[in-house]
Each structure stands twice: as C-alpha cells, then as structure tokens.
Structure 1
Amino acid sequence: MAQPPGFIDQDHPTHICHLKKSLYGLKQAPRAWYEKLQSALFSMGFQASHSDHSLFVLHKPTLVLVLVYVDDIIVTGPSSSVCNTIISQLSSKFPIKDLGDLHYFLGLEVQKSTSGAFIHQSKYILDLLKRTKMDGAKPCATPLSSVKLDHTGSLLSNPEDYRSIVGALQYLTWTRPDLSFAVNLVCQFMHSPREPHFQAVKRILRYLKGTLGFGLWFPKTTSPLLLNAYSDADWAGCSWDRRSTGGFCIFLGPCLVSWSAKKQHTVSRSSTEAEYRSLAHTATEITWICQLFSDIGFKLSSLPQIWCDNVSAIALASNPVFHARTKHVEIDYHYIRELVLAKLLTVKFVCSADQLVDIHTKSLPRPRFLHLRSKLSLQPSPFSLRGCEEQVTIVKH
C-alpha cells in the first residue's frame, strides 16, 4: 500500500490512509486483481487467449485451460495430475479453496457421465418462480402467444418488478436457447413496460414451469467435429418500427455452442438485405469461435458452413454483381463476402422447413416450436443422480 500523490504526511511518511470504503469495491480493484492473477499464470507458463481475455491456456506438458470470472476459476484439462499441480501452484500464491469437480458454477449446474455432460439452470429457475410467486402457475407449451406486443395498454404502476424479472430471464438464456427470442422481445419494453408486456413475461415463467429440468446436452462423440451454422432473419417483423430480427445457431458436431436472437439496428429494404445482415453477424461469430479454437490448439477437419434459406443472400455473399442493389448496405456487412472469397467458410442453401433459426426470429405455433426445440440439443435431464467422471475443477479464491 502507498499513499496517493499529494496526501503524504511529511511527519509520518510511512503511514497510509485509513479507507472508509472497502478496497474491493473501488473501481481499480478488479483491474488490480486481474493483473495480479495474470502475472501469476504467466509465470507458470500460461498464455492469454487473444479471443477471450478471461481464458488462459497452457500447452506443455499437456493442455490445461484456466477460465476466470473475477475470483471464481475453472481449471480443466485431459490430465488430472497436471490440473492438481496447477492448483497447488496457485495455492502457493493465493489463499484459494478447492471445491472439487465442477457441479455448480455461477448458477449453472453440470451433470456428467461417461456418455456426455448436461448443463442446466433448474435451481435458478425454481428460485425465480418462487420469487415471482409463479411456482404454482399452470404450465404452457410455448413461451410466447400469437398476440403481437406493441406500445399500447396501461402502464405498470411498479415497473421495477418487470425490469427485475426480465433481467433474471436474460441470465437464463445461457442454457435455454428456446427462450432467446421471447426474452429479446420483452427486453424491448424495459423503459416503459405495460400490462400486455407483463402478461408476456408471466407466460415465459409458465413455460419455464413446464420445462424446469431442460438444459443443453453435450454428448461425447468420436466422429470429426464440424462447425455448422444456421442463419435467418424475419424481415420487417417488428410491427411498430419495421426492423428485422436476425438470429443464428452454431453447432460443433451435434452440440449447440452459440446462438443469438437480436433485432437489427436499421430497417432493411428487402428480405435479401435482412438475411445478408444476419449472415454477416453469423460469420463474425464463426470467426471468433475459430480464433478461440486456434488459441487452444484445436483444428477443424473442414471449413465451417453457414446454412441460409435465402438464395439471393447466398448469391450476394459470394458474387458482387448485385452492387447496384446494395449501395446502401454498410461496408462492414460485406465482411462475409471476403471470408467466402478467401475460402475460410462456405454458405449453403437450406429449405425454410429445415431452418432451425426460425425459433430465434419469430413467435411460432406449438407444433413448429416443439419440433425446432428438439433440434437444439435441448432436452430434459438424462440423469437422476449426478455423475463425476471427467476432471473439471472449480477453484474459489
């Protein structure tokens, strides 16, 4: 500790200030902690990932990954002995608590077996239902009804409750891709929520009541891991500002690893433009995933593929002949064309009936919603008891 410049007492130069506020709560505390931990990991031979600053990678003698969230740390790798050595080295530098194999981390529950891993947030959902007094509500089959939300209806007398519940629902999209579009929709009314918006939130909670144990299943597989993405957009789907909603789903082999449902920033003049913008966002996410794979030394066996149901957008991604029709499109959306021409990814056609991203761009009828949900690696828990097979360790500082 040292006194800040200008506050040094000449009569007591070795004294320090008595802080009335905890040092942990100061603005510079997270940065100071990160720099301290980073220096310690660098001294142990780790390298920081260029794609994710919270990920540190050790390649020799064997692969070890350290993922940091403030003072919660996950240590994992194929060798349990090397992981234990890393934990011992960390314990010599910091007062840490080894919590053993990963079961619960930041609200995420992990169940493992010899056939794969299941990640869910059942406890978080149950706590949310109890907090909102919806634990006794009648379940429903879909998170959204056919009623379109707009800015009509009576204003809520206590909008803080609405904002609190919607904020909690946002955290659920970590393991529930089936909620992405519904949560994105109700988030658009945070400033002045109205009664129909709150009814939509209640319907999401009722849907959660009926799918309490659902989560993402990551099966073990020996087949080559291919990176496949589905991209789609609902052109002018918003009834009051006519902006489109774009989305994507990215699969690594049979596992869903990334997804998004987001309203586009500007109005698209055609369905081709809306789809093309969504393709560009999907390509950006794929590029980031490929960079992350490169940091950990993982190589894909073939080029990533993006599946789109718009033929014109696919042609535009690889052929600049439609320049006259796309003068108004921002230059950064042509990023995907550069990737295609450089043969870093391919764009292929998929029929609308097989387009998985419909679940992220619009409200769907029950049969269509349930069909697409079954394609997203989303299922009820396959375990009755928690397994503990792989070496994944969580460390608490």
Structure 2
Amino acid sequence: MKIAIISPGPFSVPPVKGSSVEHDIDEVTKMMDPEHRVTIYTRTCATYPKSTVEENREFIRFPYQGPGPYLRRIIRHIRKHKPDVIMVENRPTYVLALKNRFPKIPVFVNMHSHVFASKGIISKEKMKRVVRLASGFFTNSEYLRRHFIKTCKIPPHKIHAVHLGVDVSPYQVAKIHYSIRKLRKQIGLSPDDRVLFYAGRLMRAKGVHVLLKAFRAVSEQDPLARLVIVGGTGYGSNRLTPYVRELKKLAKPLGDKVKFVNFVPSAKMPLYYQLGDVVATPSVWQEAFCRVNLEAMASGKPVITTPRGGIGEVVAHQSSGFLLPPKAWKTELPVVWNLLWSIPGIRAEMGRQALLRAKQFSWYATAQGYLNVFESALGKRTGEEASQEKQLLRKTG
C-alpha cells in the first residue's frame, strides 16, 4: 500500500522543537510494516534536507508560508506520485482541496484534538462537507471520538478511536543514566528532596496555576517537598506571557521550593522525568489524550492527574495514579502526597503498575489500527469498482 501522510505544516517531521502531532507522525510511521511505502509531507527546516529516505519512509519537505501555498505544492507532488490512501493530520480543511483534485483516492483525517474542527477555525458548512467527503476519521481517544460524533455529526462507523503509543525503552534506560545526579544538582535539588514534577506547555488549559496553589498546601505539611516545572509557552518558546508572570507570582512565596526549567526538547525528556518521584498533570480543559501521562508512566512514575477528556482511558485511578477533579486539588493533593510518602512501598508499587499500563500502549498497535482501517477502505473501494465493472459489462453485453 502507498500511503501519503500530510503534516499540518508549521513544524517539521521529525520534530526539532518537540511538537506533538509531528512527534506522533514520526513514531507511528516507523512502525508501519516494510511492505507499505509511506510518504510524509512536511515543512522545510535548517535541520533536514528537502527530501530523505529512511527504509520504507520518504520525507518530502516544502516551505511553509501558510496552509494554501504549502498544500498546493503537496498536491502537485501527489498528482505525479499517486498514493493509494491519504492521511491528513489535524487539518480537516485540507480535505476539501484534496478531494477536489483526487476524488477517487480515500482521504482520512487524524484529529489530535477538537481545536481545528471548532467554529473559530472552520465553518459549520465546511465541516459538513469535510465529513461527507472524507473516507473516515481517527481520534486518539474514545472521548474525542464521541465528541466529534456529537458536535460534527460524524457517523459512528466513519470515525475510529486509536490510542497513541509510547516506546518505554528510552524512559527505562534513563533511570540508570550517569548524569541524573548532575542534573538534579544543576536544578538545585538535594538528595533528600521529594519531587513533584510537571512537564508541558505553560498555558492556562494545562492547569499549572491549579498545581501551584495546591502545592503550597503540600509544602506546608512536607518541608522536603519540591515542585519542578519543565516547559515553555510553546514548542521551543520561553516567552514571558501574562500567564507565566502569574505563575511566577504564585511561586514567589514558596521560594526555592519551586524550580522553573525552560523548554526541553522531547529527545531529552526521558532523563528529565527521572527528576520526579511523582508526576502531576493538572489539566483543566478536556484533554484528548495527554501524552505526558503516558511518558511519566513509561518512566515508572505514579501520576496525579484530572479526569478530564480522555485521560481516564490512560491512567487507572488508584493503580497507576490518581484522578482528582481540578477543583479538588487544593484539598486532595496534600492528602494524596501524604499517602504516597507515609505508606512503605506504595510509590514503588504504583510506579510498577504505571509501567505495566504504559506497555499496553505501543506505537505498533497504533500503526496497525490505522492500517486496518486503510485496508478495509481500499478493499471496499476495490469491491465497489468490481461491481460497477460487472454492471457495465451486463449493459454493454
């Protein structure tokens, strides 16, 4: 099967600055069986040449000067190298131009969140046309699948929930890396510190303010508690936004108990997760999936998170972590923290359960989920074409 995958465009594949959609494209296509030829369309950048071939994957890169010019270049290339199936990543609007040029090629949309199908991005009428023209949709959680069935009226048979994966190997190898002690010292952590760790963008939807307010109560009851916050305002950005200023103001009374670390590239994150004894993801919005939870669990860390969106499909409450509603964090986080440190062996056992849970989410399983749907669509199309040919033969015979 010849598969074309179209990345959104603003970031490169493989990602240089840690962008999540592009990370997913890179990881899942590595796991597609060698019999399939995969062409990944992405943007040019200083790190990579305009085109590269890695085993059964070919990267074709075009300048990104907005979605229109970027997509037009991709369409010209597809016209010469027609694939069997096209997958659009997180940009449903691209479907309209693609189906206009290639009406017979199945086009799928992989939705990573609700954002690019929302009214502020695409009109209701255009989204209706996308739903009609697309051969199918993918989501990274059952929660997001149900969301689109309800809000966009996508027929249930046309949208498939396929969880993202994680490779646990680099996270487990990082546990014995020689530089962990050096990194702890660099950040200002002592050997006795008990570390609550956050990784992600510094934006209100991620609930970092909720975490800081709750951690204040934790620090009052545990003088050894420390909070490490790793991340910037965006992928590769460390801008001092009004929200970041608000976070720094909340952290100021806690002094050196809170450590802010700027954006860290995804390749280095397995090492940084080792700084934490427990990982917190205090999301206040409806997270579609929240990969940080999966990465933390791959590191063997218990997770304290919220039951928002699809998070509960990944984190098992009181097994691999705790699901606390955002409004309950201020009162419940100190209770959970005390539990984790007062009962011998509980953190180790929850970390073990977290790792076992993470191993259930593989990139190979994600790839197979996509391929099964592609093959079904192509089989159906072949059957329809054969039926049409028979009908034509009867008419002409």
- TM-score under structure 2 length normalisation: 0.25
Larger RCO, structure (CA 8 Å, separation 6 or more)? 1
For the pair shown, the structure with the greater C-alpha radius of gyration is 1
**Higher helix share goes to which structure?**
2
**Higher strand share goes to which structure?**
1
